[in-house]
Amino acid sequence: MANAGQPIVYLTFSNKSKRHAHEIFKLCEELEDSLYFSVKCDTFNYNALQNPELINFNGWRDQIYEKARWIFFRISPEYSNTLKAGEGNIPMAQINEHDQGIIYIHNVAKAEFRQNSIRDHRLIPLLFTKTNASVHDIPPFLRSSPYFWFPEQKKDLFNFLRT
């Protein structure tokens, strides 16, 4: 549990692969153990939010997003495809709750970036090497943000977060 002085990292990603979810979990543990951050992920927190009738998911996302010092976007081809589905002609009712969350946070971040563009470096794309991600999978508005290949640039990422 985060204390008042503990920085929060909000992590959004596509969870279509258990192997990739394991890599995310490992990153979260390292951020918490090494840098003493509180990490919030929709997927891992859903276990505690099982009753959608009682939970306003977007309200929860907004609350965590607003408090977060950094927003990580775990970039992968699956993440990119989820965003494309959200821009297409697929009704939101046909998109699962987690993917709706990806699209929602993407739209919130895009609006924030438009308002703060040059000084907003809390929006950080992470490209996980094992996902075959490429720079082309990064949403266009985030391509000017600092981004990191993971795990190859883990040390650089952690140094960036310490500043």
- Note whether residue 3 is domain-resident: no
Q: What is the pLDDT of residues 19-63, one digit of tens each?
A: 677 888 889 999 999 999 999 987 655 444 445 555 677 888 899
73 and 139 in contact (C-beta within 8 Å)?
A: yes
Q: What is the pLDDT of residues 91-123, one digit of tens each?
A: 777 788 788 888 999 999 999 988 886 556 899
Q: What angle do CA 129, 158, 162 make, to 5 degrees?
A: 155
By residue range, what is the domain housing residue 153? 8-162
- Note whether residue 32 is domain-resident: yes
Kindly state the DSSP code that residue 88 receives in the 8-state scheme: T
Q: How many CB atoms lie under 10 A from the CB of residue 56? A: 11
**pLDDT > 90: percent of the chain:** 46
- The structural domain count of the chain equals 1
81 and 99 in contact (C-beta within 8 Å)?
A: no
- Note whether residue 143 is domain-resident: yes
Q: Please, how many CA atoms are within 13 Å of residue 8, restricted to the half-sphere of its CB?
A: 14
Dig out the tokens for 104 from the structure: 């929602």
Find the CATH number of the domain harbouring 82: 3.40.50.11530
**pLDDT > 70: percent of the chain:** 84
- Note whether residue 1 is domain-resident: no
Beta bridge partners of 40: 10
144 and 119 in contact (C-beta within 8 Å)?
A: no
Backbone angles phi, psi at 149, to 5 degrees: -85, 135
Residue 81: which of 106, 60, 58 has the closest Cα? 106
pTM equals 0.86
